[in-house]
Amino acid sequence: MQTTTFQAPAETAPHRSAEAAPVAWASWLAAFLLCAVVYLGGAFLPALQDDADSTHAEAAREMLVSGDYVTLHVNGVRYLEKAPLLYWLVTFSYRIFGVTEFATRVPTVVAMFLLVWLAASWARQAFGSRAGVYAGLFVSTAAGYYLFTRVLIPEAILSLLIAACFYFFLRALERPHRAALWYAGYACLALAVLTKGLVALVFVGLTAVVFALLTGDWRRWREFHLPTGFLLFLAIAAPWHLLAGFRNAHFFWFYFVNEHFLRFLGERYPKDYNKVPAGLYWSLHLVWLFPWSIYLPLALRNLRRDLGPSRTESSFGSRTRLLCWIWAGIVLTFFAFSTNQEYYTLPAYLPVLLLLAAAISQEEFSERRSWLLSSAAAMTLLSLVAGGTLIAGLWSSRNLPFVPDISTVLARHSLSEDTLSMSHIMDLTGESFAALRLPAALAAFALLVGPAIALWLRARRKHFAATWATALTMGLFLIAAQIALGRFTPYLSSKNLAERIAQESRPGDEVAIYGDQAFGSSLLFYLRRPINLVNGRTTSMWFGSTYPDAPKIYWDDSDLLREWNSGTRVFLFVPSYQKTRVDSLLPSQKFVVAESSGKMVYSNRR
């Protein structure tokens, strides 16, 4: 949307001519096409993973079946630790497309498309047309966005809503008499709370207060429509919380105290998470924002200007820069002190990428280009090392046969590390390349060729083409990653075991998981029936089990033995770490129904 209230920065204005407009619009279209290839192409496959991915999908499926849109259920048990918006959206998608993997991923894919659109539109208005194209490209191809949208978690939707909230508030400061902009911001904030809880209120509130103090906009508080905006916020955010509290005893303690405050302090019960070490926490963001993080020195070089005396300038661009620094800083600092997982900081990615888009596009139009060239050289060097490592791995596995089950050639690490979402990366071994030849070859080609072309284009001062070469390189790399993820399906998902149980089972048979449900939760989604949990009153299945209406799905070892020796056929899913214990517990008369990636399905009869 073009406005007349503000001017683009001087460095970009001369390049926004009518002759350049068709090229710019074609580039925007290409950026959205790249997003479609990366995200829409990955929405159909692979199967849903065990743990959070299929657990959240199952909560939405049970919501669809029960018609209860207030109290979430998983395996028939109340699941009260999550805000509902993600599950409402997935349930709506199921009504349209059916209960499929694609339908499960539609809300996340739509959120990423909207985030790309918002980033491109915001950067165009603040920093010029080229920065707008770049912002869309950066969101489409940043490694962290791709990596953390492979699992059904609310962070992509939360990132979109927080970003939209800040955008509307910032535009409202430019047009204070447009009350609709203020109310749109309050509505987005309320929806963000319904997506992830009070953390959205903390991020937006702290950022807004610091921004208002630094700019002096606090003096304009009468323009903020605070009373009516607060009422709109409550009208959207409060009803679900009140209904959930009325329908579920102790909800307010569990949801607000245990899941918010005690989680922040690292005292939440039960503890099923780790905290990323501080050094790793900060340095990993260079990976999550790769390849664009290589240009971070350009943005940091402007930090003093963006936070210095120029912050009082009223241009939309200068206000956006200041807001982005505060926004990213608060999110990153908050989780540096809190318990965290790698994906928690996803809402901080967009402000950093907006700053990078502004810095790179500005530098391309300036007389100083050494920073761009040195950054491109550094990326080429890193890519050559990474590509060479992949080539070495492929060469070392040249005489090894293709391995259909990659778990047989993965290393094993302590289960305590599994609470970190990316811990499985540490399982890779040299032999893994025998199962990953195609994606490894594609990734190696992308890393060895793309950055070198981008460096050559930078040297020839063809900067727009160089940035596009980097984006296309990353797009090809992410396609390779999607293929690799498919090879990990037997390891990360139990869909194939669920299909085998479905083929063998008859009405009246029992299905059980030994241990925590998270290790076989995809059985729930694919079998679409209650599953008994042996010693599984743990983690997310604990609090719901305390209600008197909890289904009788919780077994101990004696219950398992009684059912095993009865006339009922029992299918028992055993994760690899429980196999030794189960083998010593059950009698010798047991039959292997299926096995995959170390996971077993036993039955007490054929």
3-state per-residue secondary structure call for 190-251 = HHHHHHHCCHHHHHHHHHHHHHHHHHCHHHHHHHHCHHHHHHHHHHHHHHHHHHHHHHCCCH
What's the pLDDT score for residue 223?
A: 87
Give first-to-last CA distance, the chain, whole Å: 66
Residue type, 53: D
- pLDDT of residue 77 exceeding 60, the answer is yes
What's the pLDDT score for residue 432?
A: 67
What's the pLDDT score for residue 406?
A: 59
What are the structure tokens assigned to 24, written together?
Answer: 């710019």
Select the more confidently predicted residue: 218 or 9.
218
What's the pLDDT score for residue 102?
A: 96
Which residue, 184, 188, 206, 186, is CA-closest to 196?
188
Walk across the sheet containing 599-603 and list its strands: 554-555, 532-534, 510-514, 570-574, 599-603, 591-596
- Cα separation, 33 vs 115, in Å, equals 14
Which residue, 160, 79, 171, 66, is CA-closest to 118?
160
> Could you read off the pLDDT of 94-146 as tens digits, one per residue?
999 999 999 999 999 999 999 999 999 999 999 999 999 999 999 999 999 99
- pLDDT of residue 575 exceeding 90, the answer is yes
- 554-555 and 532-534 strand pairing: parallel
What's the pLDDT score for residue 433?
A: 67
Kindly state the percentage of the chain with pLDDT values over 90. 64
Which residue, 329, 324, 273, 272, is CA-closest to 515?
272
Beta strand ranges found along 10-74 (DSSP E): 73-74
- Cα separation, 148 vs 481, in Å, equals 13
- Cα separation, 205 vs 189, in Å, equals 10
Which residue, 134, 146, 93, 73, is CA-closest to 346?
146
- Cα separation, 121 vs 132, in Å, equals 6
Classified as helix, coil or strand, 532 is strand
- pLDDT of residue 358 exceeding 90, the answer is yes
CA-based torsion, 534, 539, 540, 543: positive or negative: positive
- Cα separation, 574 vs 568, in Å, equals 19
Mean pLDDT of the region 210-231: 91
What's the pLDDT score for residue 415?
A: 44
8 Å CB contact between 130 and 146: no
What's the pLDDT score for residue 339?
A: 76
| 80-100 residues labelled b (16+ CB within 10 A) or e (exposed) | bbbbbbbbbbbbebbeeeebe
- 599-603 and 570-574 strand pairing: antiparallel
> Could you read off the pLDDT of 559-573 as tens digits, one per residue?
999 999 988 999 999
- pLDDT of residue 14 exceeding 70, the answer is no
H helix intervals, 338-415: 349-364, 370-396
- Cα separation, 275 vs 171, in Å, equals 37
What's the pLDDT score for residue 407?
A: 59
Residue type, 397: S
What's the pLDDT score for residue 15?
A: 38
Among 38-52, 253-267, 449-463, 506-520, name the one with the lowest average pLDDT.
Answer: 253-267
Mean pLDDT of the region 160-186: 93
- Cα separation, 182 vs 272, in Å, equals 39
What's the pLDDT score for residue 309?
A: 57
**Averaged pLDDT score across all residues of the chain:** 87
What are the structure tokens assigned to 66, written together?
Answer: 């029960």
510 phi/psi in degrees, rounded to 5: -110, 145
What's the pLDDT score for residue 272?
A: 67
Residue type, 566: S
**The residue count for the chain:** 606
- Domain edges within the chain: 23-364, 370-376+384-491, 495-603
What's the pLDDT score for residue 403?
A: 64
Question: In sequence order, what are the residues at sequence separation of 6 or more whose Cβ sits closer than 8 angstroms to the Cβ of residue 207?
Answer: 166, 323, 326, 327, 330
Residue 365: pLDDT band with limits 50, 70, 90? confident
- pLDDT of residue 354 exceeding 50, the answer is yes
535: exposed, middle or buried (C-beta count within 10 Å: 0-12, 13-18, 19+)? Answer: middle
Helices (H) and strands (E) in the chain, counts: 25, 8
What's the pLDDT score for residue 440?
A: 87
CA-based torsion, 230, 166, 263, 265: positive or negative: negative
Select the more confidently predicted residue: 403 or 532.
532
Tokens 């049970």 correspond to what residue?
62
Tokens 């669920």 correspond to what residue?
498
> Could you read off the pLDDT of 370-428 as tens digits, one per residue?
888 898 999 999 999 999 988 888 887 777 666 666 555 555 544 444 445 555 554 55
What's the pLDDT score for residue 314?
A: 65
> Would you give the distance in Å from CA 390 to the centre of its chain?
26
Which residue, 359, 331, 355, 333, is CA-closest to 345?
331
What are the structure tokens assigned to 400, written together?
Answer: 């090894």
What's the pLDDT score for residue 323?
A: 95
8 Å CB contact between 141 and 120: no
What's the pLDDT score for residue 22?
A: 41
Mean pLDDT of the region 168-177: 89
Residue 152: pLDDT band with limits 50, 70, 90? very high
- Cα separation, 190 vs 172, in Å, equals 17
What are the structure tokens assigned to 505, written together?
Answer: 């089972």
33 phi/psi in degrees, rounded to 5: -65, -40
Mean pLDDT of the region 478-492: 89
- pLDDT of residue 499 exceeding 90, the answer is yes
Q: Which of 273-277, 307-311, 429-433, 474-478 has the highest mean pLDDT?
A: 474-478
- Cα separation, 170 vs 325, in Å, equals 14
